[in-house]
Structure 1
Amino acid sequence: MRRGARAAGGFAFGGLALGLWLAAMGVAGSAQAATRVAVFPFELFDTSGEASLSGPKPEEAHRLALITDELRRRISAAGYQVVDLSPEEAKIADAAPFRNCNSCELPIARRLGADIEVIGLVQKVSNLILNINFQLRDVATGKVLRAGSVDIRNNTDESWMRGVSYLARNRLFDPPLTGKAAP
């Protein structure tokens, strides 16, 4: 029994030494580092004639937060590291809406240490017709890696969630992301 304990201890020490050597060589660290993703809040572009100067209606602001959180959850579940945006919250608010700022969110994503970013837009055509869009971009180059759009009918939590679910399954992760955008 003593001989088995010594052998097990030797294997444990050898495994630890190998792990430390791989980490020192940069092999283990790079293999384990998840791709960092900045998922910016979805924005509403209301072309329905119902838009107000004060911003989205409370129920639509709730739905924007709901689908943003759902997309973050799905990205995290796929093995990506979702970046905390709170250190740049004031700059994000100043730059919004991103659809009008000519990629002004890229420097924000860079400062946050993101590898890729996701921006989203919900266009409200009418109270029954909406369109959910997203772009996934390489933060270093600004190159669009993926984009998607889905039309939804009905302005409810369920319809918005179904739309973002469709986009995640059929545009964001299918086919699987490769290269720098892989988890």
Structure 2
Amino acid sequence: MNSLTRVAGAIAAGICVFALGVSAAAAATRVAVFDFELFDTSGEAGLNGPKPEEAHRLALISDAMRRKLSEMGYQVLDLAPEKAQIEEQTPFRNCNSCELRIARRLGADIEVIGLVQKVSNLILNINFQLRDVADGKVLRAGSVDIRNNTDESWMRGVSYLMRNRLFDPPLTGKATP
């Protein structure tokens, strides 16, 4: 085989690999992952929302969920185009599934919403729900109790949910091959 044939073969193989990658990316399930919210029933709630350290933890676990879904082959959508609507409608626990309309406008196939209930500074509960945007059907849901109001305990809780409720068993028909 001469060098010209090898180069042509390599180019053809590269085009095939690129085309497969483009088709897989085009087929990726689009996910709107909304920020986790805090529902403070501890009696410690501030008037202006979560305490700064709890706001940090909400962002931490929301970003962890987005990162993991992205690593698993999902296309995590940017929520910025609907920022005003999100701010107007939150907390989602009180809006009768209004986040589904927002997720549809973003072009999502599925959505993830999450809630952290603070029972006390020691006892918290992390919940999530993954729904089909087209029909609102719940595809997955999970809840875990954690002890300690620290970055580490919140991350362990959301990690448990991702491993044991979100991806086990694997979602069928929703992830890229």
Q: Same fold (TM over 0.5)?
A: yes
- 2:78 corresponds, among 66, 74, 84, to 84
Answer yes or no: is 1:158 the counterpart of 2:156.
no
Matching of residue 47 in structure 1 with residue 41 in structure 2: yes
Matches within 5 A, 1:25-104: 30-33=23-26, 34-104=28-98
Distance 2:22 2:153 in 1: 41
- Give the stretch that moved more between structures: 30-39 or 81-90: 30-39
Gaps of 5+ in 1: none
1:4 deviation in Å?
A: 2.2
Give the residue type in structure 2 aligned to 1:95: Q
In 1, Cα distance between the equivalents of 2:137 and 2:166? Answer: 15
With the length of structure 2 as denominator, give the TM-score of the two structures: 0.89
Q: Are 2:121 and 1:123 aligned?
A: no
SS of aligned partner of 2:2: helix
- Tell me which of 165, 172, 177 is aligned to 1:171: 165
Larger Rg: 1
Identity %: 75
Counterparts in 2 of 1:18 and 1:86: CA distance versus 1, 3 Å: closer
Q: For residue 149 of structure 2, give the secondary structure of its aligned residue in structure 1.
A: coil
Letter in 1 for 2:175: A
Instruction: Please report how far the alpha carbon of residue 49 of structure 1 lies from its aligned counterpart in structure 2 after TM superposition.
Output: 1.2
State the shift of 1:11 in Å. Answer: 3.9
Q: For 2:52 and 2:161, locate their aligned partners in 1 and report how far apart those are by CA, in whole Å.
A: 24
Deviation at 1:18, TM superposition (A): 7.3
Aligned length in residues: 175
- TM-score scaled by length of structure 1: 0.86
Letter in 2 for 1:47: T
Q: Which runs of 5+ in 2 are unaligned?
A: none
The alpha carbon displacement at 1:104 in A equals 0.3
Amino acid paired to 1:7: T
The alignment's C-alpha RMSD in Å is: 2.1
Confirm or deny: 8 A CA contact 2:57 2:154 kept in the other structure: yes
Shift of 1:78: 1.1
Report deviation, 1:53.
Answer: 2.5
Alignment partner of 1:147 is 2:145 = no
Partner in structure 1 of residue 3 of structure 2:
5
Partner of 1:113: 107
